[in-house]
Amino acid sequence: MARAIFDYTKIVLKKVSFDADLFLKELEKAVNRLLPFEIEELRIWLLEFTVNKPELYSCLAVIKNN
pLDDT by 10-residue block (mean), the chain, 66 residues: 85 96 95 92 94 92 78
Question: What's the predicted TM-score (pTM) here?
Answer: 0.88
What's 59's DSSP letter?
A: G
Please give the pLDDT value at position 28. Answer: 95
Range of the domain at 41: 2-64
* Rounded Cα distance, 10 and 43, in Å: 11
Query: Please, which residues have CB within 8 angstroms of residue 10's CB and are 6 or more apart in sequence?
Result: 42, 45
The number of distinct structural domains making up the chain is: 1
Spatial distance between the Cα atoms of 9 and 22, rounded to a whole number of angstroms: 13
Residue 34: phi and psi, rounded to 5, are -85, 160
Distance (Å, rounded) from C-alpha 66 to C-alpha 12?
Answer: 20
